[in-house]
Amino acid sequence: MATARVLIVDDEPVLLDVVCCILSDSGYEVIPASNGHGALEIVNAGAHIDLVLSDVVMPGMQGPVLLEAVRKASPSTALMLMSGYFPEESSLGPITPFLKKPFLLEELTEAVERTLARASQGEIA
């Protein structure tokens, strides 16, 4: 199986680095972005992204807004949110996977694996 490419979006530099390291060490190709606008530029530039994992609360562009824009620009890209704050379900979309911070290393990797598997089976968009 080819290595999945994961775009990780978080405005907290330390957390962005930690998530990138964990997923990189787990065999994923990771691309970091410190905000929603930067992440959207990467997607709109035509980079193949298998999964966008975004923080919910960020300045400039909130995670759910970013994911909606990614959904329109790249419908085959799997989408997932993470946050220390539990957002209202209506803001996440009907089937957007959500990972509550803080999380354990295993919780992160399992959630990413599960989201990619479900997306490959057409269960989530």
pLDDT at 94 over 70: no
Quote the CA–CA distance of 69 and 16 in Å, as a whole number. 21
Answer yes or no: are the C-beta atoms of 67 and 54 closer than 8 Å: yes
pLDDT at 117 over 90: yes
Contacts of 13 (CB under 8 A, 6+ apart): 34
The CA-atom distances, in angstroms, between 20 and each of 15, 31, 72, 74, 75 are: 8, 8, 25, 22, 23
Identify the pLDDT of residue 15: 96
Identify the pLDDT of residue 120: 87
CA atoms within 13 A of residue 83's CA, in its CB half-sphere: 20
pLDDT, tens digit, for every residue of 58-81? 999 999 999 999 999 999 999 999
Average pLDDT score over the chain: 90
Answer yes or no: are the C-beta atoms of 63 and 55 closer than 8 Å: yes
The structural domains of the chain, ordered by start, are 5-120 (3.40.50.2300)
* 22: its two tokens: 């964990």
pLDDT at 29 over 60: yes
Cα 90 to chain centroid distance, Å, stands at 18
Kindly state the average pLDDT of the residues 98-117. 94
| Cα maximum dimension of the chain | 36
pLDDT at 105 over 90: yes
